[in-house]
């Protein structure tokens, strides 16, 4: 390690966030030094890039001699004390982080997919080498939710997290709600504005939020979670019809992450578009903003709100972790970035989770259709609170239409069994679309 007051940073990845980290350190380096007990000076001494000749939007010129295309050169550089991984993915990023930990160099990363899918391996290396991984930037952008859970709520039993933790989906749903546009149009606009990637799959299919929720659950409940064991659905099937119907009932549709500990100690974890009351505070989370509501036994209900992505907010979290890593190098008395306290734990099977539901059926309009569907639901002891068949004013005599059923609370497994049977009816033309109706209090 170099002089503990002057720490060299190896930056693996120099895209939007990496450039933001450079700009933040250049702009606020003196302020950071003034605010830290030891006057820590952070200096980026090596940067991993794909193309050294590429022009980048930085506030000051980047010396070409610190650029490299070989991650091994970055990790092994003696001037690098802390490694920041910002390249994404789960292959090269894994190798970089593992090599840095084995070299006893603390790691800062924003790679939620890697930590959710291969974190068990990396945290094992972290424990063995007594070298921390910090990952504030992996969850909710500029909201310091990791430090809140690890530090501020260390004396609390956390009952639940309820969050909007993907800004792209939130923006798309809001535009559909405000302007009555369809999903494809809203997605295209989000891409044009840079809120969605050219390949938006992880944002819109729910898995970006799922990776973040897995990390939150692991922090709070202390055991590793296999992504294969959680229920994830995205916003691709949301239609203007659903938005209008939700509004008429006093709801809005949001992509929610639900993490909840049951009395048994098992943890419920699911991601899905949900109806929530227009009066609930999460209904007021607009645009690309994120919000996480935390319910803890001592602290009670707390809400954390802010920008969930973007250069500035994410870079802010990375730099905060760099300062934390610098303090750890100086004192080696703080937390190791992740503290699992249980080797195993149990997830609540998705079939056992219970809510009310909104179900949309694509049906052939003929006498007896409602009765056929209702008969199957009754057979499975699922109550109906209402039905609706919106008429298309442009084609009032259409043979095919959407039929909506509002269903009382029941286990999801019971609903799934009923819907499988309903889907085989001659009057039903495709797989029913299900949204949960959440009672968030």
Q: Pick the catalytic residue: 27, 212, 247, 379?
A: 212
Burial class of residue 386, CB neighbours in 10 A (0-12, 13-18, 19+): exposed
Centroid of chain to Cα 281: 19
Q: Where are the beta strands (DSSP E) in 64-169?
A: 67-68, 82-85, 107-109, 133-134, 158-164
Burial class of residue 381, CB neighbours in 10 A (0-12, 13-18, 19+): exposed
CB 112 within 8 A of CB 314: no
- Comparing C-alpha atoms, which of 324, 395, 401, 399 is closest to residue 362? 401
Phi, psi of 190 (to 5 degrees): -65, -40
Query: CA-CA-CA-CA torsion for 266, 271, 272, 278, nearest 10 degrees?
Result: 90
105 belongs to the catalytic site = no
Q: How far is CA 252 from CA 165, 279, 359, in A?
A: 16, 9, 15
Here the tokens at position 214 are 């897995």
Instruction: Find the length of the chain.
Output: 441
Instruction: Produce one character per residue of 217-240: b if its CB has 16 or more CB atoms within 10 Å, e if not.
Output: bbbbbeebbeeeebbbbbbbebeb
Phi/psi region, residue 255 (left: phi>0; alpha: psi -120 to 50; beta: rest), is: beta
Helices 240-248 and 167-179: crossing angle in degrees, nearest 10, is 70
Here the tokens at position 112 are 């939620």
Here the tokens at position 13 are 């990845």
CB 285 within 8 A of CB 291: yes
Q: Which residues are catalytic?
A: 212
């Amino acid at each position: 390690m170099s002089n503990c007051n002057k720490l060299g940073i190896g930056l693996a990845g120099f895209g939007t966030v990496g450039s933001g980290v450079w700009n933040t350190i250049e702009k606020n380096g003196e302020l950071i030094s003034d605010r830290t007990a030891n006057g820590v000076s952070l200096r980026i001494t090596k940067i991993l890039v794909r193309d050294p000749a590429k022009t980048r939007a930085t506030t000051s010129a980047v010396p070409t001699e610190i650029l490299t295309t070989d991650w091994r050169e970055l990790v092994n550089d003696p001037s690098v004390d802390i490694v920041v991984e910002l390249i994404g993915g789960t292959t090269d990023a894994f190798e970089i982080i593992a090599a840095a930990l084995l070299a006893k160099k603390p790691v800062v990363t924003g790679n939620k997919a890697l930590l959710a899918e291969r974190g068990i391996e990396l945290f094992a290396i972290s424990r063995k080498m007594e070298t921390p991984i910090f990952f504030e930037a992996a969850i909710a952008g500029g909201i310091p939710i990791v430090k809140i859970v690890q530090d501020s709520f260390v004396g609390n039993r956390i009952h639940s997290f309820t969050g909007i933790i993907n800004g792209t989906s939130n923006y798309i749903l809001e535009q559909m709600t405000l302007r009555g546009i369809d999903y494809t149009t809203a997605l295209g606009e989000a891409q044009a504005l840079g809120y969605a990637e050219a390949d938006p799959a992880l944002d819109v299919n729910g898995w970006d939020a799922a990776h973040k929720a897995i990390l939150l659950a692991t922090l709070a409940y202390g055991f590793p979670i296999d992504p294969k064991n959680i229920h994830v659905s995205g916003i691709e099937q949301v239609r203007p019809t659903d938005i209008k119907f939700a509004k008429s009932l006093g709801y809005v549709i949001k992509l929610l992450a639900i993490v909840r500990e049951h009395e048994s100690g098992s943890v419920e974890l699911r991601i899905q578009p949900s109806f929530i009351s227009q009066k609930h505070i999460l209904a007021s989370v607009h645009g690309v903003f994120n919000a996480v509501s935390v319910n803890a036994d001592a602290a009670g209900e707390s809400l954390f709100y802010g920008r969930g992505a973007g250069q500035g907010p994410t870079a802010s979290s990375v730099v905060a972790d760099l300062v934390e890593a610098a303090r750890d190098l100086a004192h080696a008395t703080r937390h190791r970035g992740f503290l699992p306290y249980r080797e195993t734990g149990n997830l609540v099977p998705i079939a056992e989770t219970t809510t009310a539901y909104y179900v949309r059926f694509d049906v052939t309009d003929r006498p007896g259709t409602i009765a056929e569907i209702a008969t199957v639901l009754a057979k499975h002891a699922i109550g109906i609170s209402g039905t609706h068949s919106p008429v298309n004013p442009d084609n009032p005599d259409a043979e095919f239409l959407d039929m909506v059923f509002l269903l009382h609370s029941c286990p999801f497994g019971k609903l799934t069994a009923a819907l499988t049977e309903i889907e085989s009816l001659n009057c039903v033309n495709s797989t029913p679309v299900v949204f949960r109706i959440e009672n968030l209090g």
